[in-house]
Amino acid sequence: MTLVLVRLLACRLLLVTDTVSFADEQKGSVAGVIRSNRGELLAGASIILKGTRYGGMADAGLFSLLHILVRSYKLAASFVGYRTLVQILAIQLAERLKTYLLPLHPGADRCRS
């Protein structure tokens, strides 16, 4: 009886481990640097993958978004007093880290109606 329980537990553990490994393989990461057109790091710049819940703020001009589902996205970077930069990127299967340099230019975004 005990041997049967041990085998059953081992099979369940193996199944959970395989599921987690497969889920991790379906995701990637992106990182980058946000600078002004003069090369200054823009700490506190906002980063978002449009149409998703992925986003954050650049710490000392550096950002990273981890565990992103594999597909194409529009990455938007913005900072007060600078125009928003939108760049298309593709997260690839089994890609560990993709790095981008995002130069922002002074000026306000124009409001669209």
- Give the CA distances from residue 91 to residues 65, 76, 101, in Å, rounded to whole numbers and listed in that order: 11, 15, 16
Parse the chain into domains and list their residue ranges.
Answer: 27-104
Across 26-35, 37-46, 58-67, 101-110, least confident range: 101-110
Quote the pLDDT of residue 46.
Answer: 94
Quote the pLDDT of residue 100.
Answer: 65
Residue 58 has pLDDT above 60, yes or no: yes
Residue type at 36 in one-letter notation: S
Quote the pLDDT of residue 7.
Answer: 46
Q: What is the spatial distance between Cα 42 and Cα 61, in angstroms, rounded to a whole number? A: 5
Q: What is the spatial distance between Cα 28 and Cα 66, in angstroms, rounded to a whole number? A: 7
Quote the pLDDT of residue 50.
Answer: 95
CATH code given to domain 27-104: 2.60.40.1120
User: Mean pLDDT across the stretch 52-73?
Assistant: 90
Beta 55-57 vs 71-78: how paired, if at all?
Answer: unpaired
Across 9-18, 68-77, 88-97, least confident range: 9-18
Q: What is the pLDDT of residues 75-109, one digit of tens each?
A: 999 999 999 999 998 887 655 555 666 788 888 66
pTM over 0.85: no
